[in-house]
Structure formats: structure tokens, C-alpha cells
Chains A and B, each alone.
Chain A
Amino acid sequence: MLVLEKRPEPSALWRWLAPILAVVLTLVAGGVMFAILGKDPLAAIRMIFWDPLFNETFAAYARPQLLVKAAPLILIALGLSFGFRANIWNIGAEGQYIMGALAAAGVALALYPLDAWWLFPLMIVAGALGGFLWAMIPAFLRTRFGTNEILVSLMLVYVAEAFQAAMALGPMRNPEGHGFPGSRNLQDYPAAHNAELVAGTGMHWGVVTALLAVVIGHIVLNRHLFGFQVRLTGQAPKAARFAGVDADRLVVICLGISGALAGLAGMFEISGPSGQVSIDFNIGYGFTAIIVAFLGRLHPIGILLAGLLMALSYIGGELAQFGLGVPAAAIKALQGMLLFFLLGVDVFTNYRLRWQPGRAG
């Protein structure tokens, strides 16, 4: 009979093979799903994963958009990955994203119409601080009272959502908006606008920051004492304690980093692609980033690739919707399959299948 046997140590080969196999399995299962829906599976897969990159009608526009869509996912996922490695579970990045965006937009709108070079840097600081402080609430409650940071950070998402609706209807409402909710559009506010750095490339300060964060994250995780502490705490909490890792300090730092990066993502989004504080401008980046973090195996380079892959599935998914009439839910299912297969295949990193001659009777 076949048995699953724990490997003496995780397989390096499978660690690389697992994501590739997961993608292949997703393509196969997704193809079957499209066929059941009555769509040509090859055409659908091609439209989702190939056309945004290489179709001559779409690629020139879609390639830069890939960066725009992936940047907030990468930035947030990277922040989350530190905590996740150390078993510190910030599930409320969505709330920190909102509060970062509101802090940044609040600064810009309070100073409207200001034309000063320092406004944008100030907004960056405000954005990071907004997300950071929002993440400090679960950090404080956990270190002081032992509350569960999963629940607290998640609940604070709903508080942040209510706060954003109140802002869009109240203090931040556009005085020239004819009574409709929503702030001024920051895209029309040059000093506050996170515009494309080079037209047509999709590169804005958020993309630059996300790429920088990947590099810095990689260095910190592999070359820095903090990275070592994070990895050690995740793999062997007891050993970490003996090695002198201050668990509370680690909680505060990990939640702080993820909060600040989520806040930054919100800041770059609200001042650029999204532009406007509305009653519901948050669109789930904070939650999708959790998938990206795991898909990227909590590894900075992996997160970069996972973020781009996820962005591709969104952009290609839209093409498949209007091009082939594939329902939006099928695209979501495809994204879910990706994570499902990755976690499934991941078993083989730590375990192996072995044929054990069964004993008769």
C-alpha cells in the first residue's frame, strides 16, 4: 500500500516544484471547469494568461497595468509575510490599507489646494503612519492583554470601513460634488497626485516602493538578525525564547511592518489609480494579499511573482469575461484553485509517498 512518510528534512526540489505543479494543475482543472461551462478551455486559458502579455491589441496597455494591479498586493503581502513566518497573524491588512489611504488623503485634502513639493512625501509618511497605528491596536491588545490578533485585526477592518464611509460622507466630501458622497479626485490635484513616472509604463511611486520593498525584504529576511529571529520563532518558538527573542517585541514589529506597508499601499492607491475617497474605495487588496503571501511561500521573490500572477489572472479574467462570456465567479474559482493546489502539493515538500508492501490479511 501507499503511505505518506515524513521526510527527514523538507525537500529542496519539491519546494521549487510545488508552485510549478500547482500552476499546471490549476490550468488543467480550470480548463475542465471552462469546458463544463460550455467555453472553449484553451481559448479561455489563453485569454487569461497569454493575451494580456502578448496579444498585440491588449499587451501594450495590459503589461503596465499588471504592475499597477500587482504593486499593492506585493507591498501588503510582503509586510504580512514576516508576521506569518513568526506565527503572528495579521488578517486585518484591509483595515490598515484603508486607514493609510485616509490619513494620506486627509493630509492632502486639508491642505487643498496646495502646490508644494513636500506634500507628496508628507502623504507617504501619513499613509505609513496611518496603517502602522491601526495595526498597533491589535499589537497592544495582544502584548498587554493576550487577546487574539486574528480577531482584533479582522474586526478593525469593519471599523475602518465604517470610518471611511463617514469620511466620504462628511469631512472629506467634495464641496463641489453636488451633494454626492466622495472626496475630490486626487488625480486632479497635481501636488498630491501619484502619477505615472513615465507615461505608458504603469510605473508610479507605489510600484517603485513595492520593488524596493522586495529587495529590502529579501535582505532583512536572510541577512539580518531580525529575519533570523522571525524564522526561528516560526520554526521553533521554544528555541527562539532560549535564544533571547523577545516575543512581545516581535509581535509589535511584525504587526507594525505589515500595518505600515499596507498603509503605504493604500496611500499610493488613493493618490494614484483609485484617486478618490469614496464610501467603499477598498476592494479587498488586504485580503487578496494573504493569498499572495502564501502563494509566494512567504518569500520576497516568491511574493513578487505571486503578485504578478494574481494581477495577470485579474486582468486576463476581465478579458475572458467580455471576450468569451466567462462569469466572474469562474475567475474567482480559478484563483482559489491556485491556492488550493499549492497547499495540496505542498505536502510533498515535507512528506513523500512510499510503496510499503502490505501485510496480507
Chain B
Amino acid sequence: MTMKRRTVLAGLAGTTAAAALGVPTFAGKDKVKAGFIYVGPVGDGGWSFQHDQGRKAVEAAYGDKVETSYVESVPEGADAERVMTQMALSGHDIIFATSFGYMDAVQNVAKKFPKVKFEHATGYKRAPNVATYSSRFYEGRAVIGTIAGMVTRTNKVGYIASYPIPEVIRGINSAFIHARKKNPNVEFKIVWVFTWFDPSKEADAAKALIEQGCDVIMQHTDSTAPMAIAEKAGITAFGQASDMSAFGPHAQATAIIDNWAPYYVDRVGKVLDGTWKSEDTWGGIASGMVAFAPFNENLPAEVKAAAQKMIDDIKSGAYHPFTGPLNKQDGTPWLKPGEVADDGTLAGMNFYVEGITDTIPS
């Protein structure tokens, strides 16, 4: 499995990237002990569940040559630091810290254990023994935006957003751009719930959006509650992080699946053969990190075809979801026709594109 490696955020994290230049070489190992820390329970059906699927893939790939362990529901901050320190003390060779908020804790522990390798998801601080990785979820948003634009009858798409951070804003922009491409009358109604996982809050948001006339719901939160509400209301929704079709067999058009397995297998393999290096990986559809649940059989054939074409074009590199002409929300030009957004801008994205009527809370 080859991973597309890109030096994203190079401009942003110049100092840490420079520190990574003097990369030490690590000798290979006969057996590797890999630890994982999760911010939620492995049974959350979303974010942490998918990371744990990646851990299981590592076990399946290397059998006796690897031993994995995990700690779930680890709060960010001092607790994460303690758990990782105890893992390092107990002889783990590589530790995957799977939440943005573990960033400073990873740096602290990595300094104390230079021989242990650390992998931090969605962060931007690296070190000789700390690599970072994330997923181009916005590629998946382009696909579900395409579907949303085509299936909405009310021209109102509801969006349950967690926190106004670049990753979420990027996702809204990508979904909106591609919904508009298929349907110039489409509007996005965005609700900020300020949580990653709160089934009752997410359900309330979904109900409010449906009352406002939305017949398609997207979510950037982790619970299956919005999917269940959409199923009951008889409208369309999209699974987040994992296949949620069990909660919305009719509602789920598809789901954006976080597939960490290929990356985890690759990285643990590199510890085994001694070729592990600190680097930054931002994988997408092409590398398999962003995957999709099967299209709902009730989707019209032309919708399925359009969605599949979007997947194929992004995968082949023929199309980038942020291709000009695109203006910012206030009408100022952002990308010229044919121009593609650079990774640095995407990584720190803090503005909406033209046409979105919401304002980003601050």
C-alpha cells in the first residue's frame, strides 16, 4: 500500500519541520508493540471506532510480529500525557494518539522517550520521533455535496457542525460548492452544536433543521442520532466516520468512512523494517484513507453516476474539490479559474466561500 505523502502545512509549521530534518535512523525490530489512545469509547460507532478498526487491521496484517493495546476515553491534557508515558514505560515501540487535543501531550512525552515513535492524528507539531497524519475529509464532502444538490426537493440542506475549526469549515465549503454545482438554488442551513459527540444535542439540531424545511441532513459530529432522526422523518442523510446504515437504512445515501487501516499497517510495518521516519501525511480517496459506504439502492441512477464520477475524478487526480473560480463569502476573489487551493490555505481555512449565508461563530 503506497501512501501519498505531501508536505502539507510546511509553511505553517516551518520550525517543527526544520527540526525533523535531522532525522535519526531507527533499527528494525522482530516484534513491535503498538499502543493506541482514543478520545472516545471504541463503541462510539464513529471516530474512535474507526481508529480501533485500524488497530485490528494491524493485528491481522502482522500476526505474531505485533502486539497492540489501547486505552479508550482518554481525556486530552494531563491524562493523555500520563497514559502515553505509562505505555512508553511498558515498552511500546509506537504510539498512535488519535485526537487533535493530544498534541502538546504527545510533544511532552516524545521528548522524554526519544526511542519511542509517536503518531499524532490531525495535529501540526512534529519532532524527530513524532509524525502527523490526517485525512482529506473534504474530498468526501465533495461527493456528498454532489448527492445533496441532486436529491433535495426543498433546496434546503441542513448541516450539523461541531466547532468552527478549519477542518469543519473546509468540509462545509466543499459540500456547499458541489451542491451548488448541481443545483444553483440550493441553500445551506448550518447549526453549530459545539460538541463532537452528544446524541441529544445532535438530535435536537436535526429536528430543528427539518422543521426549517431541510430534506437533506449532513453532520460533522460523531453520533448516529441525526441519522436516526432523518430515518424517522423520511429524508436523506449521510453517515459520518463510519457506515451508519443500520440507523438509517433508507435515509443514508452513503457515508464518508475514515479508513485508517492502510496507514496504520504501513506505519507499523515501517517500525518493523526500520524505515520509520517523522513525516506528515494527508491522505484522501486516492490513498484509501477516505472511503464510502455503498450508495443507497433507492438513489436515482443519475445521482449514483454523478457521485461515482466525483469519486473517480478525485481519485485519479483529474479534479480537486477546491478549483477556481471561487470567491470568498464577501465576494472577494479567492481562486482564479482553473487555480487549485494550496494545502497551506486549506489547512488553516477560516472563511466561507461565496453563497453561504451563515456567519462563522467566534
Contact = CB atoms under 8 A, between A and B. Distances in A.
Nearest to B104: A185
Nearest to A279: B163
Interface string A321-338: 111010111000000000
Interface string A162-180: 1001000110000000111
B100 A180 contact: yes
Interface in A4-63: 57-58, 61-62
A315 interface: yes
Contacts of A178: 9, 12-13, 124, 166, 347-348
A180 B165 contact: yes
B323 interface: no
A323 B35 CA distance: 10
B90 A328 contact: no
Nearest to A171: B362
B77 A322 contact: no
A333 to B, nearest CB: 13
Contacts, number: 100
Nearest to A165: B194
Contact of A68 (B72, B78, B361, B362): B78
A5 B173 CA distance: 70
Contact of B69 (A162, A165, A322): A322
A169 B90 contact: no
Interface size on A, as a range, is 35 or more
Nearest to A329: B41
Nearest to A278: B101
Interface string B31-45: 000010000011000
A286 interface: no
A328 B69 contact: no
A76 B100 CA distance: 29
B65 to A, nearest CB: 19
Interface in B58-113: 69-79, 81-83, 85-87, 89-90, 100-101, 104, 108
Contacts of A281: 76-77
A165 B194 CA distance: 8
A349 interface: no
Contacts of A169: 163-164, 361-362
Contacts of A325: 69
Interface string B1-38: 00000000100110000000000000000000001000
Given A273-B77, A283-B79, A328-B41, A181 B90 contact: no
Contacts of B124: 178, 180
A327 B104 contact: no
Contact of A57 (B73, B90, B348, B361): B90
A278 B74 CA distance: 15
A275 B77 contact: yes
Interface in B177-202: 194
B212 interface: no
A276 B104 contact: yes
B86 A58 contact: yes
Contact of B72 (A182, A283, A328): A328
Interface in A170-201: 170, 178-182, 185, 187
B357 interface: no
Contact of A318 (B13, B71, B101, B349): B71
Nearest to B36: A322
Nearest to A272: B78
A319 interface: yes
A322 B76 contact: no
B39 to A, nearest CB: 10
Nearest to B75: A283
A308 B90 CA distance: 23
A204 to B, nearest CB: 11
B100 A318 contact: no
A273 B78 contact: yes
Given A322-B35, A322-B86, 5 more contacts: A58-B90, A68-B82, A178-B124, A276-B77, A321-B71
Interface of B: 9, 12-13, 35, 41-42, 69-79, 81-83, 85-87, 89-90, 100-101, 104, 108, 124, 163-166, 194, 347-350, 361-362
Would you list the 8 A-B pairs with minimal beta carbon distance, nearest first?
Answer: A273-B78, A322-B69, A274-B77, A283-B75, A321-B71, A328-B72, A179-B348, A328-B73
